[in-house]
Amino acid sequence: MSHSLKPASFSAETPPSLLRSFRAVRDHTEFLAAALMPEDQTIQSMPDASPAKWHRAHTTWFFEQFVLLPRDGGRYRPYDEAFSFLFNSYYEALGARYPRATRGLVTRPGVEEVGRYRAHVDRGMAALIEGDADADGSLDTLVTLGLHHEQQHQELLVTDMLHAFAQNPLAWRGDGLPVIPGWRLPAPEPGEARFLQRPGGLAMIGHDGQGFGFDNEFPRHQALLQPHALSDRLVRNADWLRFMADGGYRTASLWMSDGWATATREEWDAPLHWRPDGAGGWLTVTPGGLGAVDPEQPVRHVSWYEADAFARWAGARLPTEHELEAAASELPDFHGHVWQWTNSAYLPYPGFRAVPGAIGEYNGKFMINQMVLRGSSSATPPGHARRSYRNFFQPEKRWQCTGLRLARDI
């Protein structure tokens, strides 16, 4: 693969054209994969992660299954009928699929053939976009959904590959394994954290209808906020080191029961990807490679269980997702650092209805047993963040770029 690709940005708010936006997002996926060897792209380091090759193929499958075949089935011919089984993720309405936990066992198709598959679908998409009058705007809607879906997988490609590299002993030997080109941790917000007083009251929550939004961001509605205070800074590594030194991972009273059981079983004693440096400090693997834990950087790769325990240790709590959304413009590090765990269960907004058909499986059926995260991370692609975005994971997950800020009741 060539390294000549440049990072691309995509904005649904001011798209130059649907085809140019399509090409920009598709090129950005290839840019992220450009530094990876074929062996890198095939590995699956745990059941939650997927091979980079699979991410490239699945996002292509999405356009083939949801756009090309329904709208251009008379002219478009699938690249390989078997790919509809191999690269389906969780869409029950579209039939059987290969098990998620063993995607790393699929060595074929190889990296080059996945590239040919992407090119085949891209040609079909270009012909469709250029030739479809799209009088009702439905093509634009579908393609834009597919582009934001691909951006989600771009972030997963980064964090999944980061997890895989972090298992490699060469990373901890200091050989500087390449991770993903173009990603560097942003400079942290300077200064000491302070709590911003928020009066509470009614707040409008959810997507305002301007530009793209996933279905779980709708409908827009009022939420009643109680008076509270929010930290204007994310929790930093220096704060976390104090939590660790004070026995935070050894004090059961700080933890939810399920969290304590998980932390004990998994032998957690630090955030994911942290390792002792042998001299009393800590090393970690980031999207930029191996380095010392920077005390000023926001802590990342912690689970909801850890975030909740830290908040209790600090005499605070996690904010609700509504509190964060309402205050987003006042928080200088709301975007671009870490996804922020909230104290909100992932549930539908009042009046939410999943759209009919397989597309309706995108978000709605996951609204159980998960916690909401807000903001965006250093791995979130350009043009993909917005204040109403609702990310979500199970409370024990920590391989994503997840951190926290504190809240207090007034």
Same domain, 278 and 158: no
Same domain, 169 and 265: no
Confidence band for 15, pLDDT divided at 50, 70 and 90? very low
Distance CA 293, CA 275 (A): 9
Arithmetic mean of pLDDT, 111-119 = 98
Arithmetic mean of pLDDT, 257-274 = 98
Joined tokens for residue 61: 């499958």
Same domain, 244 and 334: yes
Confidence band for 179, pLDDT divided at 50, 70 and 90? low
Contacts of 298 (CB under 8 A, 6+ apart): 188, 234, 235, 236, 237, 333, 337, 338, 403
Confidence band for 6, pLDDT divided at 50, 70 and 90? very low
Joined tokens for residue 271: 């955030």
Kindly compute the dihedral angle of the four CA atoms of residues 329, 232, 159, 239, in this order, to the nearest 10 degrees. Answer: 180
Are 49 and 164 contacting, i.e. CB atoms less than 8 angstroms apart? yes
Same domain, 267 and 222: yes
Same domain, 90 and 222: no
**pLDDT tens across 295-353, in order?**
999 999 999 999 999 999 999 999 999 999 999 999 999 999 999 999 999 999 999 99
Q: Flag whether 292 is in a domain.
A: yes
pTM for this model (two decimals): 0.94
Relative to beta strand 339-345, strand 402-403 is parallel
More confident residue, 360 or 47: 47
Place of tokens 């080109």: 181
Place of tokens 């699956």: 44
**pLDDT tens across 208-234, in order?**
999 999 999 999 999 999 999 999 999
Kind and range of the H or E run holding 131: helix 111-131
Same domain, 227 and 86: no
Quick count: other Cβ atoms within 10 Å of Cβ 403? 29
Backbone torsions φ then ψ of 389, nearest 5 degrees: -65, 135
Please tell me the predicted confidence (pLDDT) of residue 339. 98
Same domain, 147 and 202: no
Q: Which of 56-70, 85-99, 242-256, 325-339 is predicted with the least confidence, judged by mean pLDDT?
A: 85-99
Q: Give the residue among 236, 232, 260 at the shortest CA–CA distance from 248.
A: 260
Domain encompassing residue 110: 18-173
Confidence band for 14, pLDDT divided at 50, 70 and 90? very low
Burial of 210: CB neighbours in 10 Å, binned 0-12, 13-18, 19+: exposed
Confidence band for 8, pLDDT divided at 50, 70 and 90? very low
**pLDDT tens across 181-218, in order?**
667 788 888 889 999 999 999 999 999 999 999 999 99
Distance CA 219, CA 349 (A): 7
Arithmetic mean of pLDDT, 37-64 = 97
The pLDDT mean for the chain works out to: 91
| Total structural domains within the chain | 2
Q: Flag whether 318 is in a domain.
A: yes
Same domain, 241 and 125: no
**pLDDT tens across 267-298, in order?**
999 999 999 999 999 999 887 778 899 999 99
Same domain, 261 and 378: yes
Distance CA 325, CA 407 (A): 13
Q: Check which CATH number belongs to the domain holding 224 and give it.
A: 3.90.1580.10
Are 334 and 328 contacting, i.e. CB atoms less than 8 angstroms apart? yes
Beta-bridge partners for 341: 373
pLDDT at 10 over 70: no
